[in-house]
Amino acid sequence: QVQLQESGPGLVKPSETLSLTCTVSGDSISNYYWSWIRQPPGKGLEWIGYIYYSGSTNYNPSLKSRLTISIDTSKKQFSLKLSSMTDADTAIYYCARGTVTVGNFDYWGQGTLVTVSS
């Protein structure tokens, strides 16, 4: 069974950089794209971006200038760095596995709440 687990700080100060890591278990990291998705309180889901196992990336244009997603295939981990955090970035952050041929997200992590506050 594929499992994804997010890890990282639950509290980030305004203007700082958020760093989250997602660890994948139960299957190969190859041949999928690995995504970050978030949900602000009381709002809907927002796709943040993804990285293919080869390292190519695709980012949400609204976050692109602040976003870096990287992958470490040897550790079966991928990571998110989002800079210049503001209140608007407070959200539950999910990592998810995306299927290349279908375009959906078939496995999700449990999510981690990130709060931006001084």
Partner 1 sequence: QSVLTQPPSVSGAPGQRVTISCTGSSSNLGAGFDVHWYQRLPGTAPKLLIYVNSNRPSGVPDRFSGSKSGTSASLAITGLQAEDEADYYCQSYDNSLSGHVFGTGTKVAVL
Q: Which residues bind partner 1 (CB under 8 A)?
A: 35, 37, 44-47, 49-50, 58-62, 94, 98, 102-106, 108-111
- Give residues with Cβ within 8 angstroms of 62, minimum separation 6: none
∠ Cα 82 75 20 (to 5°): 20
CB of 118 to partner 1, least distance (A): 26
Q: How far is the CB of 37 from partner 1 (least distance, A)?
A: 8
Q: Minimum Å distance from CB 84 to partner 1? A: 18
Taking CA atoms, 67 is separated from 28, 31, 78, in Å, by 25, 23, 13
Q: Which residue, 65 or 104, is less far from partner 1 as judged by CB?
A: 104
